[in-house]
Structure 1
Amino acid sequence: MREAAEAVRRAVGRAVAAIAAAVLASASGCSSASGGGATPPPAAATATTAPAPNAGWTLPSGPRVVFRNTRAGDGFGKVASVPLNSPGGERRVSPVACERVYATRAALSCMSRTSTDPVGYSETLHDGDGTEGPRWSLPGAPSRTRLSADSKLAAWTAFVDGESYANVKFATQTVLTDVHGTYYGPLDAFTFLLDAKPYSAQDLNFWGVTFAHDDNTFYADRSGRVGVAWKSKTT
């Protein structure tokens, strides 16, 4: 089934749409539609704060590659790192467990499972000293996360509950915050301009944020009418 979904996505035409500006709209303006429509806001648009610091996450000195450890054993699923110049070298495994992770020297973004019955997920931000900071509940399984180069902004994408890449018309939700907990909302609550005109569709879907270096521009993949995918530039 995964191969079939990949084949469909590869067959989808790609176009480039330059978005002149994006401004936040009210989250209450989001609508929900099945089969890839606009998605609902997360269960908690306001971050909760961890009850106590968690000093388990720190990076050793020197350039490192950070990843989710999938080696069998006690460290499975934990955040790990290796030296950049020796990726086959000693693996430093932390106590922090994540389904998806992205890290800089100043911050770590961790999408993790919080419960199993029923299954629940959350997004948590840590600072460079290992202190656990703001946390948001997720609408479904984690997909990906990213931090800006200066470690001030965070973005993450989660599937809406019950969806996955196995569904050709899967629905995701992508949210922007800063690392201190300011919530900028899901991208489907932004107003987008296409050719200087407001653009919207019932089936808009966003994922895959990449931040530019100016801390004011980011790129995101989005799909919409008839399944066409665009790369959006947002400032």
Structure 2
Amino acid sequence: MQWWEPLEMPDYFYEQGLFAGYEKLHSPPDTKLGSNHRAFFKNFPGPWSGKLLDVGCGNGKFLMVAKGYGFEVWGVDMDIKSVEIARSVVGESVKAMSLEHFVDFVRERGVSFDVVTFFEVLEHQDKPLVFLERIKSILKPGGYISGSVPNRDRWLTYDSEWDYPPHHLLRFSKQSLENLLSTAGFGNIQVKSLDFSFKLKEWFFYVKKSYLNVPIIPNAIKYFLSVPLSFAFVLKLKGRGPYLYFQASKA
């Protein structure tokens, strides 16, 4: 696993809504799920019932769909504005607090969960084992965890402030993610690389950015050249999609 030093997650960035990119979570969700959420509904073994907690739930899009499948849904997020939206979608079981405080909150009430999900959350943690121990402490015996992280070995990458501190602190490969989940005491571990998106606009953007980033070449020519380059690199995509999906169970 790769990480940054100093390894420290600034909670106030999330609590005060200082990440501009989170503004999209401050409006009601649509029903179109991302590939990470779709992977859950494709791979989760069931049963499709019981209490499900989504950590870092944002505006409640995933919870809204999970509720339709039959789960009793709960959510927790440190972004107060997102939580307000999520509550309007799925109800008052969504809380605005840190995971540490949420664990104390549900323990006092004798609440535990059949499933705990955390999509694009683990890479933000400065103490990933502590994070997973807290998750495990409120998970029923035999309960499942599920989620996703960016794939460190994804084929197409480009420089972005989103993949650096204070936003992302950890970078996982398939093996390092499996090792972390095993070290945390989970079993039946499955880690899968999600397929690369073949949306033409996104595909051409990555190719142009990665291989044709030459200022003197006009954009029209870059897009023209990106078509044959795209097909030339198709075979390199196997196992190197943008996200790693994982699921595991508590012994």
Which TM-score band applies after superposition, normalised by the shorter structure? under 0.3
Bigger fraction of residues in strand: 1
Bigger fraction of residues in helix: 2
Of structures 1 and 2, the larger Rg is shown by 2
Q: Which structure is richer in relative contact order (CA contacts within 8 A, separation 6 or more)? A: 1
